Amino acid sequence: MDVKDIIEEIVGREAKITKIDFEGPELGIYTTDPLYFLENEDKVKAIAVELKKRVNIRSDPKILKPPEKTKEIIKNIVPEEAGITNIWFLEPLGTVRIEAKKPGVVIGKEGNLLKEIVKQTGWVVQVVRAPYPDSSIIRGIRSLDVKHGKERIEFLRTTSSRIFRGAKYPNTWVRLHALGGFMEVGRSMFLLETKNSKIIVDAGLNVGNEKDFFPYLEDTLDGRLDEIDAVVISHAHLDHIGFLPILFKMGYDGPVYCTPPTRDLGALLLLDFIDVFLKDGKEPPFTERDVKKFVLNCITRNYGEVTDITPDIRLTFHNAGHILGSATVHLHIGNGLYNVLYSADIKFSPTRMLSPANTKYPRIETLIIESTYGGRNDIQPSREKSEEMLKQIILDTMDKGGTVLIPVFAVGRAQEIILTLEDMYKKEGFHWPVYIDGMIREASAIHTAYPEFMRKDLQKRVLSDDSPFEADFIVDVRGKDRKSIVEEGESIIIAPSGSLTGGPAVEYFKYLAESENNALVLVGYQFEGSLGRKLQRGIREVPIKDENGKLKPLQVKMRIETLHGFSGHADRRQLENFISKLSSRPKRIIVDHGDPKKVKEFAKDVSKKFKVETLTPRDLDVVRLL
């Protein structure tokens, strides 16, 4: 039976199907009666189960009311309390996208309002949550596939033909090419190859080292990007996504798979990266056009969705506990032939925002695991102890009339610190202003659009219009002079970048460093070569550019503290616990994403403890997995 016969056997001819279209890894069913499918959701689920694909119901163009008339009908049907902020029409798909502050109100009880909209307009409805405050990034992304609807459809059809072209050869081997992030932290990337497929997993830059910036892709593929079937991105940090726009600049034109928050946060960080280069008078390695191409070629997946991405590879994302939308990557190769789990960056303890990394997987033959804090002595203090230390540093600094500077990664650590401070302000009665700078506000707004990726308690708060990222003590610096903020004293400043490689944090540091009344609190990983790493090592005279761009020595007298308990990475104990809790014990473990000493120590001890083969490849090594 072909696909149409299977579908019609499940739904019957009364479903009035006019066309069936493959859309990337998904299936689009066009109909002149979309209400039938809304009222028979069990049949849609049955199709998805039978065909093992996500199913999208599309309205046939001939039943659609004009967009302006449809907008009017929607506003008459949906109560004002829904807080509709935007209505877009994806005309090639027969879909109207409604963005609202309260999506549940738009949907109505048991979907009754959605059904009424479909009944009166013919348009199938997609409801999305509005970020708070408004996010220019999300607004831009959500309007892109409206503006480029026809291009998007063509791209999805081309992607489908590649995915479902059929495996040409019997699967007899699987190999991994280490392209970046092996025996180092930064520029994470590897190529996974079978006899039928090639995929790239992660595409990062060496954030703290512009001399050795890019992964070794060209050394391996020699420009043959048309051979790549797909790119999979684990999360939005630049050491895992920063090279992605360069891939498109080089000519890659295939799909990128990631979670929805990773797409949006990734676009934010990539555009900011361009901005930082331009402000420093340097030419960025990619342009806004390349970032836009990434967004248009992005196919998002939620945790737990099994997706065909090549003729012989299926992808599933799971929570990694690192930042919003961060994922472990499970790759099922062949028909039960081989399974690879890539941890990417994981946290295996609950944080204020996220649950610990997932450990339930059906099968794992090879585990690729990070070792950022994999050294024998890398035992982080508890979150409670670190929070108590932060509180004391703040109190001590305020007593002196000073300022506390907390450099953060705008995605992840910034939100964790805001949540921590909110708790202190409630319990301790703190009254000092907390200034947030750079793209932190925009990143936090994106978080509010995806509460389902957060811990249940925080999810409930965001859904109840009680977002902690808009607390009263937070002051947006827009329109304020940074030097005047510092001169006021008695404040807390949260600013990127987390390892002082650039951005607003470095500017604040220049103003604060020479006074012992101030404090610098490092709460994230400090990349090799970064200013943050140098300060951690005790260097107290650093060259800094003055207002004229000339280098001058800066005497660092401010208090400097590192609080490891806020890290988004698992420490040595958590990494071992993660392995021990895996529902499927791997036959081989490959250790990556760590300084060489830590990689080797961790691999040696894991091999001994779990009695499993461990490997520590270097960049440019090739490992045969099967």
Under 8 Å between Cβ of 440 and 496: yes
51 lies in some domain: yes
Q: For the chain, what percent of residues have pLDDT higher than 90?
A: 83
220 pLDDT exceeds 90? no
Calpha distance 53→477 (Å, rounded): 46
Average of per-residue pLDDT across 371-398: 95
Highest mean pLDDT out of 215-224, 278-287, 335-344, 519-528: 335-344
Calpha distance 182→622 (Å, rounded): 11
Average of per-residue pLDDT across 292-300: 97
Are residues 420 and 538 both part of a single domain? yes
- What's the angle, vertex CA 421, arms to CA 415 and CA 424, rounded to 5? 150
Are residues 57 and 68 both part of a single domain? no
What's the pLDDT at 122?
A: 96
Global pTM value: 0.94
What's the pLDDT at 71?
A: 96
590 pLDDT exceeds 90? yes
Average of per-residue pLDDT across 452-471: 91
- The token pair at 624 is 């045969």
Calpha distance 443→236 (Å, rounded): 11
Are residues 117 and 224 both part of a single domain? no
565 pLDDT exceeds 80? yes
What's the pLDDT at 480?
A: 85
Highest mean pLDDT out of 113-122, 220-229, 479-488, 521-530: 113-122
SS3 537: coil
584 pLDDT exceeds 80? yes
- The token pair at 98 is 């409604």
Average of per-residue pLDDT across 15-23: 92
- What's the angle, vertex CA 303, arms to CA 298 and CA 308, rounded to 5? 60
Report residue 508's pLDDT band, with 50, 70 and 90 as the boundaries: very high
Q: What's 549's DSSP letter?
A: S
What's the pLDDT at 72?
A: 96
Average of per-residue pLDDT across 602-617: 98
Of 526, 549, 566, which closes a domain?
566
- What's the angle, vertex CA 409, arms to CA 254 and CA 422, rounded to 5? 125
Min mean pLDDT across 234-248, 328-342, 421-435 is at 421-435
What's phi and psi for 509, nearest 5 deg? -60, -40
Tens digit of each residue's pLDDT (9 = 90 or more) over 184-198:
999 999 999 999 999
| Helices and strands, number each (H, E), in the chain | 22, 28
Are residues 229 and 325 both part of a single domain? yes
The rounded mean pLDDT for the chain is 94
Q: Which structural domain, as residue segments, surrounds residue 305?
A: 172-377+569-624
Are residues 402 and 518 both part of a single domain? yes
Structure-token match 């797909």, residue found = 230
160 lies in some domain: no
Tens digit of each residue's pLDDT (9 = 90 or more) over 72-123:
999 999 999 999 999 999 998 999 999 999 999 999 998 999 999 999 999 9
Calpha distance 346→570 (Å, rounded): 6
Length of the chain: 626
465 lies in some domain: yes
Name, in order, each residue with C-beta under 8 angstroms of 611's C-beta and a sequence gap of 6 or more.
none
> How many structural domains compose the chain?
4
Q: For the chain, what percent of residues have pLDDT higher than 70?
A: 100
Return the CATH number at 34.
Answer: 3.30.300.230
Of 19, 37, 61, which closes a domain?
61
What is the full DSSP assignment across 200-248?
EE-----TT-GGG-S-SHHHHHTT-GGG--EEE---SSHHHHTTHHHHH
Of 61, 77, 100, which closes a domain?
61
What's the pLDDT at 223?
A: 76
- The token pair at 497 is 């970048």
- Among residues 497, 544, 504, the alpha carbon closest in space to that of 524 is found at 497
What's the pLDDT at 1?
A: 61
CA gyration radius for the chain? 25
Average of per-residue pLDDT across 377-383: 93
101 residue type, one letter: K
The sign of the torsion formed by the CA atoms of 547, 552, 556, 562 equals positive
Calpha distance 171→567 (Å, rounded): 40
Are residues 41 and 184 both part of a single domain? no
**Cβ neighbours, 10 Å, residue 554:** 17
What's the pLDDT at 551?
A: 84
What's the pLDDT at 211?
A: 78
What DSSP element (H or E) covers 436?
Answer: strand 434-436
What's the pLDDT at 289?
A: 97
164 lies in some domain: no
- Residue 94 Rama label (left phi>0; alpha psi -120 to 50; beta): left
What's phi and psi for 412, nearest 5 deg? 110, -80
Are residues 530 and 435 both part of a single domain? yes
Average of per-residue pLDDT across 339-347: 98
